[in-house]
Structure 1
Amino acid sequence: MSPLLSPDSPELDDAHFALLAHYAKHLGRAPKATRFASNTGERRSRQKGHGMEMLELRAYQASDDLRHIDWRVTARTGQTHTRLYAQENDHHQLMLLDLSSSAYFGTRHTFISTRFTQLAGIIAWRSKQQGDTLSYRLAYGDETHASNKSGTLSNLLSKLKSASQLQHRNSESNHASIWSNTLLTSKTHNKDVIILTDKQTWDKSEESALMQLAKHNRVYWIQIFDSNTYNLPAGHYQMADHLGLKQITISKHSMQQVKKDFFDQNAQLRQKLASFGIQHQLFDITESPEKIARYLLSQGAIH
Structure 2
Amino acid sequence: MSPLLSPESPELDDVHFALLASYAKHLGRAPKAIRFATNSGERRSRQKGHGMEMLELRAYQASDDLRHIDWRVTARTGQAHTRLYAQENDHQRLLLLDLSSSAYFGTRHTFIATRFIQLAGIIAWRSKQQGDTLSYRITYGNQEHASNKSGTLPTLLNYLKDASKIENRANGSNATSIWSNTLLTNKAHNKDVIILTDKQSWNDDEESALMKLAEHNSVHWIQIIDSNVFNLPAGQYQMADNNGIKPVTISKNSMQQAKADFLSQNTLMRKKLASFGIRHQIFDITESPEKIARYLLSQGALH
Is TM (by shorter chain) over 0.5? yes
Structure 2 equivalent of residue 204 of structure 1: 204
1:264 Cα deviation from its structure 2 partner: 1.4
1:166 paired to 2:166: yes
> RMSD over aligned Cα, in angstroms?
1.8
Q: State the SS of the aligned residue for 1:5.
A: coil
CA distance in 1, matches of 2:201, 2:108: 26
Structure 2 equivalent of residue 79 of structure 1: none
Which residue identity is paired with 1:292?
A: I
CA distance in 2, matches of 1:221, 1:24: 19
Q: Indicate conservation of the 8 Å contact 1:296/1:302, yes or no.
A: yes
CA distance in 2, matches of 1:142, 1:171: 6
CA distance in 2, matches of 1:270, 1:234: 30
Count, aligned residues: 271
1:260 Cα deviation from its structure 2 partner: 1.6
Instruction: Flag structure 1 segments of 5+ consecutive residues without an equivalent.
Output: 54-84
Structure 1 equivalent of residue 124 of structure 2: 124
Identity %: 75
Structure 1 equivalent of residue 179 of structure 2: 179
Structure 2 equivalent of residue 292 of structure 1: 292
Q: Indicate conservation of the 8 Å contact 1:194/1:222, yes or no.
A: yes
**CA separation of 1:203/1:28 partners in 2, compared to 1, >3 Å: closer, same or farther?**
same
Structure 2 counterparts to residues 63-74 of structure 1, below 5 A:
none
**CA separation of 1:196/1:242 partners in 2, compared to 1, >3 Å: closer, same or farther?**
farther
Which residue identity is paired with 1:114?
A: T
**CA separation of 1:50/1:118 partners in 2, compared to 1, >3 Å: closer, same or farther?**
farther
Structure 2 equivalent of residue 31 of structure 1: 31
**CA separation of 1:174/1:133 partners in 2, compared to 1, >3 Å: closer, same or farther?**
closer
Which residue identity is paired with 1:27?
A: L
TM-score by length of 2: 0.85
Structure 2 equivalent of residue 221 of structure 1: 221
1:241 Cα deviation from its structure 2 partner: 6.4
Instruction: Flag structure 2 segments of 5+ consecutive residues without an equivalent.
Output: 53-84
1:50 Cα deviation from its structure 2 partner: 4.6
CA distance in 2, matches of 1:217, 1:14: 33
**CA separation of 1:51/1:238 partners in 2, compared to 1, >3 Å: closer, same or farther?**
farther
Q: State the SS of the aligned residue for 1:44.
A: coil
Q: Indicate conservation of the 8 Å contact 1:51/1:88, yes or no.
A: no
Q: State the SS of the aligned residue for 1:24.
A: helix
Q: Indicate conservation of the 8 Å contact 1:51/1:86, yes or no.
A: no
**CA separation of 1:226/1:207 partners in 2, compared to 1, >3 Å: closer, same or farther?**
same
1:248 Cα deviation from its structure 2 partner: 2.0
Which residue identity is paired with 1:92?
A: Q
1:133 paired to 2:133: yes
Structure 1 equivalent of residue 239 of structure 2: 239
Which residue identity is paired with 1:90?
A: D
Q: Indicate conservation of the 8 Å contact 1:48/1:90, yes or no.
A: no
Q: Indicate conservation of the 8 Å contact 1:239/1:247, yes or no.
A: yes
Q: State the SS of the aligned residue for 2:36.
A: strand
CA distance in 2, matches of 1:4, 1:302: 19
1:126 Cα deviation from its structure 2 partner: 0.3
Structure 2 equivalent of residue 257 of structure 1: 257
Show CA shifts across 1:94-116 (max 9, x none).
Answer: 00000000000011100001000
CA distance in 2, matches of 1:243, 1:256: 28
**CA separation of 1:198/1:48 partners in 2, compared to 1, >3 Å: closer, same or farther?**
farther
CA distance in 1, matches of 2:189, 2:86: 19
Structure 1 equivalent of residue 87 of structure 2: 87
1:121 Cα deviation from its structure 2 partner: 0.2
CA distance in 1, matches of 2:198, 2:133: 25
Show CA shifts across 1:63-91 (max 9, x none).
Answer: xxxxxxxxxxxxxxxxxxxxxx9811111
TM-score by length of 1: 0.85
CA distance in 2, matches of 1:242, 1:267: 34
**CA separation of 1:51/1:189 partners in 2, compared to 1, >3 Å: closer, same or farther?**
farther
Q: Indicate conservation of the 8 Å contact 1:52/1:86, yes or no.
A: no
Which residue identity is paired with 1:213?
A: L
**CA separation of 1:86/1:35 partners in 2, compared to 1, >3 Å: closer, same or farther?**
closer
Which residue identity is paired with 2:106?
A: G
Greater than 3 Å deviation, 4+ residue runs: 47-53, 240-246
Structure 2 equivalent of residue 274 of structure 1: 274
Structure 1 equivalent of residue 8 of structure 2: 8
